[in-house]
A and B are shown apart, each in its own frame.
Chain A
Amino acid sequence: MALLQYSGVKISALAGAVPANCITNYDYTANFPAKDVKDIVDRTGIKERRFAPAGMTASDLCFAAAEKLLVDNNIKREEIDVLLFVSQTPDYRMPATSVVLQNRLGLSKQTAAFDINLGCSAFIYALSAAYAYATQPNIRKVLVLDGETRSRVYHPKDRSTAFLFGDAGVAALIEKDPRVGTSYFSLNSDGSRAELIKIDAGGYRNPSTADTLKEKVIDEHGNIRTDEHGHMNGPDVFNFVLREIPKDLKRLQAFANKELSELDYYLFHQANDFMNSYLAKKLKLAPEKTPSSIAKFGNTSSVSIPITMVDQLQGQLSGSKNLLLCGFGVGMSWASAIIPTLDCKISELVELELRNDAL
Chain B
Amino acid sequence: MNQQFLNSFREALEIEAEDDLNATDKFRDLEAWDSLARLSLIAMLDDEYAVEIEEDAFEKLDTVEDIFNYVQENRT
Contact = CB atoms under 8 A, between A and B. Distances in A.
B50 to A, nearest CB: 10
B66 interface: no
A236 B43 contact: no
Given A39-B34, A242-B52, A274-B36, A235 B43 contact: no
Interface in B2-36: 34-36
Contacts of A104: none
Interface string B27-68: 000000011101110110011000011110010000000000
A236 B34 contact: no
Interface SS of chain A: helix
Contacts of A39: 34, 36
B47 A235 contact: no
Contact of B46 (A43, A233, A242): A242
Band of interface residues on B = 10 to 19
B55 A282 contact: no
Contact of B58 (A40, A234, A235, A274): A235
A316 B28 CA distance: 47
Contact of B39 (A159, A243, A274, A282): A274
24 contacts: A39-B34, A40-B36, A43-B36, A160-B35, A233-B55, A234-B38, A235-B38, A235-B55, A235-B58, A236-B54, A238-B39, A238-B42, A238-B43, A239-B42, A239-B52, A239-B53, A239-B54, A242-B43, A242-B52, A243-B52, A274-B39, A274-B43, A278-B47, A282-B47
Interface of A: 39-40, 43, 159-160, 233-236, 238-239, 242-243, 274-275, 278, 282
